[in-house]
Structure 1
Amino acid sequence: MPVVAKNITFSDKILIVSKTDLRGNITYANRHFMRISNFPETALLGKPHNIIRHADMPRGVYYAMWKTLKSRQEFFGFVKNLTSDGDYYWVFANVTPDVVNGKVEGFFSVRRKAPEAAVKAIEAIYAEMRKKEAGLSADTAASSSWKWLSEHIESQHGVSYDEFVLGLYEQYL
């Protein structure tokens, strides 16, 4: 029988917290992060945060995140993460630059449980983004799918990406 990955769920009261350096390497992970992702601290610290990147996540979402963070703004988004044993969990992520004495020193990420109804809505959008990315070079896939997402949200919902994801999260709390 084929092995099917499980959706790992957790309380909506839990905050998954991590901190990275400027290159995205993990410098701090709280116990909730380790427990839910099923990674020990030694497997996380010093490693790229994308160690938990799930293949179902469109590149365009990460493109938007890094573009936003480089402009010293905070990023919000729904993210499907991978556990060490191949399972997955959905979060609503808030990533912010860690500014010390006017200089960005790294990034903080605080993640909450993503509401199931919000995940259902975003999965269809992410599937379309992955279709847009398929067949494109790595250089253009991310920016192309991000452009499509921004235009899609604006035309279908009349709001910006941030307004859309924040509204989707709050709508299903």
Structure 2
Amino acid sequence: MNPAYLAFEGDRRIAAGSLAEVARAAKQLLDRSKDAAILVFNDQTSTLVDIDFRGSIDDVLARLPKPERPADADAPPAPRGPGRPRLGVVAREITLLPRHWEWLAQQKGGASVAIRKLVDEARRSSGDRDRTRLSQDAAYRFMTTMAGNRPHYEDAIRALFAHDRRRFATLIADWPADIRDHAMKLAYGDQAD
């Protein structure tokens, strides 16, 4: 299982795991070295996580961002009546042209069933492309933050988006090991050397 978060201090990866584990390790390092500069990343998206490291470890952990929950998650479950279970269905608004609504109304099961089938089919047919795009985006964000001033950065980004794995690996070969290895993992996942 991949860790959910990573922390880097300079060029070195110092922690990986849950947000609490990473925050604890980062806070311990900051307590030992006041001039440390730590960046915490979401491991899947490479977005930076803002953590307030003031106070004790318990203070830091208490202020960590909470996972998002639906607004009605704390509400007691509604009494069940006849019919199908909710199955996590979320009602949201979509905007379509009249011709789209007409077509949907003619489909067996109605508009909701037709839209779910269309979305499922699109997910099946574009799954690999979507995974590749998300991997490239995460690698790009990480590389921009951690290696934007490294030699061959721009050429490595071009190789990443050109799907040239060999050239990408060659261009980042001289980067610090933790940065290089994580960039490869993000860009190529299980295919990384």
Give TM class, smaller chain: under 0.3
Query: What TM-score results when the alignment is normalised by the length of structure 2?
Result: 0.22
Query: What TM-score results when the alignment is normalised by the length of structure 1?
Result: 0.24
Higher relative contact order (CA 8 A, sep 6+): 1
More strand by share: 1
Task: Compare CA radii of gyration and give the structure with the larger one.
Answer: 2
More helix by share: 2
